[in-house]
Amino acid sequence: PSMVSETIRWQTPLAYMRRTALQDYELGGKTIRKGDKVVMWYVSGNRDDEVIENPNSYIIDRERPRQHLSFGFGIHRCVGNRLAELQLKILWEEILQRFPEIQVVSEPERVYSSFVKGYESMQVVIPSRL
């Protein structure tokens, strides 16, 4: 049940969003000034070992799998997050019912973007189906 959330954390499909600071603020020893444009690297927060245990590992039975930043945080947090989780849950349920084994046969090609952390293509072989 936790695999989808862990995949969304580990992959972090959107690497960041940007905000404009409304007031001066101290963060991690740095001063952010009012009007500064700030990039919030979700992909970095999702690998923060002060908050997430063993963050570089893909662990599908984490205790709190929904504790991640892939959907952002605060009032603009992704309004479609539950739908996205439901779609991926159904997709994986259907895939795993049909295909017991999926072999990745070459290095995936990544999308050329600093924003979208996705794949252009990934070649697989599915040796048999149930």
Burial class (CB in 10 A: 0-12, 13-18, 19+), 55: middle
Cβ atoms < 10 Å from Cβ of 75:
5
Q: Which of 38, 51, 78, 95 binds ligand HEM (CB under 6 A)?
A: 78
Q: Which region, judged by CB under 6 A, interacts with ligand HEM, from 48-56, 65-73, 94-102, 116-124?
A: 65-73
Cβ closest to ligand HEM, residue 62 vs residue 70: 70
Q: Which of 83, 96, 111, 116 binds ligand HEM (CB under 6 A)?
A: 83
Residue 73 C-alpha from the chain's centroid:
13
Does the protein bind ligand HEM through residue 79 (CB under 6 A)? yes
Cβ closest to ligand HEM, residue 73 vs residue 92: 73
Closest alpha carbon to 8 in 112, 109, 82: 82
Cβ closest to ligand HEM, residue 78 vs residue 126: 78
- For ligand HEM, the binding residues in 15-34 under the rule CB under 6 A are 17
| DSSP 8-state secondary structure symbol assigned to residue 70 | T
| Whether the Cβ atoms of residue 43 and residue 12 lie closer than 8 Å to each other | yes
Q: Which region, judged by CB under 6 A, interacts with ligand HEM, from 59-67, 75-83, 97-105, 112-120?
A: 75-83
Which residue type does 41 have?
W
Rounded CA separation 41/12 (Å): 10
Instruction: Report the interface residues with ligand HEM, using CB under 6 A.
Output: 8, 13-14, 17, 70-74, 76-80, 83-84
